[in-house]
Structure 1
Amino acid sequence: MMAVSAALLPSGPDWTYEVKWDGYRAQVVKNGATVSLVSRNLKRITRQFPTVADAAAHLAPKTALIDGEIVALDPAGRPSFQALHHSATSGFSLVYYAFDLLHLNGRDLMHAPLEERRAALRDAVAGSVVLLSEPLPGTPRQIEAAVRRLQLEGVVAKRRRSRYEPGRRSGAWVKVRFAKHQELVIGGYKPNTTTFDSVLVGYYEGRQLLCAGKVRNGFTAHQRAGVFDRLRPIVTGTCPFTNLPTTKSGHWGEGITADEMRTLRWVKPQLVAEIAFVEWTRDGSLRHATFLALRDDK
């Protein structure tokens, strides 16, 4: 079950709220002493996260199917998606935040209301190192303010009496991301049949313009047409980014190889865009970048 995206949190007594953890979605499949971790696309990831599997193996229930998120936390308790795959050498610890319980000791709970599943989950993880993703107190406005202050990724709102809908993106779960903002220079774009698929943005270090990745999301039809009209007159044959090409496509798919560069159009670095994003990666790229507006005052 997946959440739909929204700009604002829904409000009302039917809703409950949790932190949207910036981690790796995974289900725990426990059968006696045997535990498997399964990703959202049904790949087995137990070997990648052995400490999480070991923690789940010590849960009290004999059999269970739990949904949750694997999260890397720094010594101050702040999550980082980038640290997930090198936590052992970075000082980060891996934890599992459980937020739903689908099966328990042979009983199917997917048609039970969320509040009943959550109560059973609380009992299932009690006394273990598996963490419960607790409901957040307060109004949506208070919750948003607190989550922003803690610089967490966002909030998921869930209907209290919703059933679990496997494989479906359901309106019973609504996610809202609270992103960081930065002004970045547009240095190119990937064309499509009408305008562009994405723009390439970057930032200056000294006199060098470094590419920070591609931005695909956030453009309204009107914005896309307007940005394209501004890009066409400044097309150039020279790539303005000094850190391209990259040698590979990158762990998160945002690297730009020499082969891909042949499909791109370059522009003079004259336009500044305001971009929202969740996190900077270690290689200087943006995660979950969204276009907000051109900054003509820059």
Structure 2
Amino acid sequence: MTDGRRAMRHRDDRAEPLPLQLPAPPPLPGRIAPEVAVPCSAPFDGERWRFSIDWDGSRALLFVGAGGDVHLQSERLADLTPRFPELLGAGAALRGSPMVLDGVVAVLDPRGRPDLESLGLRLVLGGDGADQLPAVFLAADVLHVAGASTLSWPLDRRLATLSECVGEGAMVQAPDHVEGRGLAFADAAAERGLTALLARRGDAPYRPGMASPDRLHVALRQRAVCVVAGIEELPDERWEIVLAEYVAGTLTFSGTVAGPRHDAVHRWLLAGASGLGAHVSAPAGSDDVGARWLRPAFAATVAHHGRLPNGRLRDPTLIAVRDDVDVAWCVRREAVPPPDDSVRGRFAPTVLMPLPLGDAALSPRPAR
């Protein structure tokens, strides 16, 4: 009996294979959580680093199926496609499919710069705003191509593949990057009124859903993305937004700011807030007793003039109210210093080392 059982367990590799087939892997993943940048305190130079503009817009992943069908996923893993129907034609602007691109949906001002306030209004208007405020997709990475994941590839290989995938049209663009020369690139970007750089290590993989030490956000203007923790109506028909950020896991008061100036955004926020106010307590550190407190769902991007000693924002002004941001990342974080392999303050004449600081790197093409 023992010998028989052993015989039954014995595998004959010479036997004919069974007429069964493994299911084909899906051509595209269902969802991917975007990689998150770590704030960095200053621009820097570094041979292993690739610098690009961190464009103002709605962070999104663009999924393009084998037949050219398009799906936009927000950083909250929600469907953005109905809000930007003009991007349904993005598949025709790309070379090959299926693929997944990481980037931002942006609305450009008349000078060709992404306008975050207009993007906030466009999020409210949705598809009805496509003619008034057309959007473009600014791609910064490729995460899946030709049926295979590229997440483990080094960034340099992914960027080379991205340039092969994106054509010359305005609907989907892949603005250029600079290798190593972050200081000069930061100066050029600041002169054009751009707000931040994205610094990524050339040999780094893509880390979905994680704050990666190989992906740094270098602010050129002081901004914060805060939770809309409450709203307060004032006697003169004005109203304020109460701002908060997570500090050691606790939602903490960060200041107040005047409400949005667009009536459509005003109505949209009040309508959305009506279902968020049951059994919600004030954020830690708030002494505002007149506000209506809300569950974290909306975010506010604000400009400011630094921090007070208690961490609150100094003189914040509202840029945009939005629901496309993952509010779990509205964290009050100290910016890290430039990485150990960076070089700061080094002089290298741009006459001898020209930089690609023209339209390809610093000016997206307007949507047509």
Name the TM-score class by shorter chain: 0.5 to 0.7
Unaligned runs of 5+ in 1: 182-197, 202-207, 228-240, 283-287, 291-298
**1:230-281 alpha-carbon deviations (Å, 9 max, x no partner):** xxxxxxxxxxx9x9xx87855897x9x99899956359xxx99733668366
Partner of 1:9: 43
Partner of 2:65: 31
- Whether 1:166 aligns to 2:208 is yes
Map 1:115-126 → 2, pairs under 5 A: 115-126=156-167
Question: Are the equivalent residues in 2 in contact too, given 1:66–1:103 (CA < 8 A)?
Answer: yes
- Give the 3-state SS of the residue equivalent to 1:76 in structure 2: coil
Higher-RCO chain (CA-CA 8 Å, sequence separation at least 6): 2
- Whether 1:60 aligns to 2:100 is no
- Structure 1: distance between partners of 2:239 and 2:104: 30
Q: Aligned pair in 2 of structure 1 residues 127, 199: CA closer, same or farther (>3 Å)? A: closer
**1:105-150 alpha-carbon deviations (Å, 9 max, x no partner):** 1232111111111111101012443100321477333222222222
**1:87-122 alpha-carbon deviations (Å, 9 max, x no partner):** 837843310001111111123211111111111110
TM-score by length of 1: 0.64
Choose from 210, 215, 221 the match for 1:179: 221
- Structure 1: distance between partners of 2:199 and 2:73: 24
Partner of 1:21: 55
- Give the 3-state SS of the residue equivalent to 1:274 in structure 2: coil
Question: Are the equivalent residues in 1 in contact too, given 2:139–2:175 (CA < 8 A)?
Answer: yes
Q: Which has the larger Rg?
A: 2
Partner of 1:84: 122
Question: Are the equivalent residues in 2 in contact too, given 1:20–1:156 (CA < 8 A)?
Answer: yes
Alpha-carbon deviation of 1:57? 4.2
- Whether 1:48 aligns to 2:86 is no
Partner of 1:152: 194
Question: Are the equivalent residues in 2 in contact too, given 1:29–1:37 (CA < 8 A)?
Answer: yes
Partner of 1:279: 319
- Give the 3-state SS of the residue equivalent to 2:81 in structure 1: coil
- Whether 1:214 aligns to 2:242 is yes
Question: Are the equivalent residues in 2 in contact too, given 1:60–1:124 (CA < 8 A)?
Answer: yes
Identity of aligned residues (%): 23
Unaligned runs of 5+ in 2: 1-34, 224-228, 290-307, 323-329, 333-368
Question: Are the equivalent residues in 2 in contact too, given 1:2–1:173 (CA < 8 A)?
Answer: yes
- Structure 2: distance between partners of 1:135 and 1:28: 20
- Structure 2: distance between partners of 1:97 and 1:247: 29
TM-score by length of 2: 0.53
Question: Are the equivalent residues in 2 in contact too, given 1:27–1:68 (CA < 8 A)?
Answer: yes
Map 1:249-264 → 2, pairs under 5 A: 249-250=269-270
Equivalent AA in structure 1 for residue 134 of structure 2:
S
Alpha-carbon deviation of 1:73? 0.7
Question: Are the equivalent residues in 1 in contact too, given 2:93–2:166 (CA < 8 A)?
Answer: no
Choose from 131, 150, 160 the match for 1:109: 150
Q: Aligned pair in 2 of structure 1 residues 275, 117: CA closer, same or farther (>3 Å)? A: same
Equivalent AA in structure 2 for residue 99 of structure 1:
A
Equivalent AA in structure 2 for residue 47 of structure 1:
P
- Structure 2: distance between partners of 1:122 and 1:280: 31
- Structure 1: distance between partners of 2:271 and 2:104: 20
Alpha-carbon deviation of 1:40? 1.6
Of Structure 1 and Structure 2, the greater strand share is in 1
How many positions carry a matched residue from both structures?
245
Partner of 1:100: 141
- Structure 2: distance between partners of 1:67 and 1:149: 26
Map 1:232-243 → 2, pairs under 5 A: none
Q: Aligned pair in 2 of structure 1 residues 3, 250: CA closer, same or farther (>3 Å)? A: farther
- Structure 1: distance between partners of 2:267 and 2:281: 14
- Structure 2: distance between partners of 1:252 and 1:154: 30
